[in-house]
Amino acid sequence: MANIELIKKLSKAFGVSSFENEVIDILREELKGYVDSIEVDEMQNLIALKNFDSPKSKVMLNAHMDEVGLFVKNVTPSGFIKFVKVGGIDDRVLLGKRVIIGEKKVRGVIATKPIHLQKESEKDLVDKSWDMVIDIGAKTKEEALKLVQVGEGIAFDTEFEEIGDGFFVGKAFDDRLGCAIIAEVLKEEFDFPLIALFSSQEETGLRGVTTGAFKYTADISITIEGTVSSDFPDVSDFNKVSVIGDGPVITVKDASVITDHGLRKRLIETAEKFHIPYQYKRVAVGGTDSSKIQVTKEGVKVLVMAVPVRYIHSPVSLFYLDDYENTKRLLVEFLHSLEG
């Protein structure tokens, strides 16, 4: 069964790109006793090794720890926080959202000019992030700067909870779901060397994985992600990308990578052998760490598998527990198929 408490802790952790420390601490504690070594490199990648001295082919499991969010840009004379976005966030989802700022976990709310003061010509326009501010309840710039500093990260303040039957909402499911799956899988035993690369700064240009995969280069790499599920009534079937409840999403091609055809065939054969539902990523959008791993040194064979997630890159996302479980199960069975 899924470790819901682990998913909850990872979802709630503060981990905007370059501020992944809380996620690192959770994963380090979770993996104690299950891996042979754990290290954190200069890029804030967390790297766990298991059976690394085995002469067999090396397999990498990859997920990124960071989440989309905001950075403090400056402070207005009246104490409001101006910010910039970190990662791909739609401006339309920002207004009215609660946030947490920096090490002191200062709470605030994203705001703009109220509708009562807007001109008629402004009411149908989407407010841009650079016109918004964060209200932390400060009266002056000096008062605000006692609580927050320029350059600090800003994360969405979102509760993790179950809604309906087996559906969960929270933040940062891209890619804390991948982190949780790999942490659980590392508790299994395999007869080949495993490299778990929990990467940093994926949302700002796949930065952490570039150095992490160079230091520990595998023969095969599997990236586990949370991916777009746009299964709404007004979206055509071939544009839905993925569908909640249809199982793990297997990438053939996205905007950054073409996955290895032989490994993907083996993955699909494994799913069918164990009657695990699966689906293909229907639209070649987005990118993952796999694109950097694939071109490391002499090259690496890569796969990408994901849990479908609604409302990705927003303050509140949603996933279905069965999809998570089936993604984890397919990964375990595929890894066992590599043994021998």
Of 69, 327, 112, nearest in space to 222 by CA: 327
202 is catalytic: yes
The residue annotated as part of the active site, out of 202, 203, 225, 325, is 202
Are 270 and 330 a contacting pair, CB within 8 Å? yes
Angle between helices 173-185 and 321-337 (to 10 degrees): 40
Question: HSE-up of 33 (CA within 13 Å, CB side)?
Answer: 2
User: Residue 186 phi/psi, 5° resolution?
Assistant: -65, -15
Of 172, 186, 157, 159, nearest in space to 27 by CA: 186
CA dihedral 232, 236, 242, 246 (to 10 degrees): 80
Instruction: Give the three-class secondary structure for 197.
Output: strand
Distance (Å, whole) CA 120 – CA 39: 56
Sequence-ordered strand ranges (E) for the chain: 37-40, 46-50, 59-64, 69-75, 81-86, 98-101, 106-111, 133-135, 153-156, 161-163, 167-170, 194-199, 220-228, 249-250, 279-280, 301-309, 317-320
Q: Which residues participate in catalysis according to the annotation?
A: 202
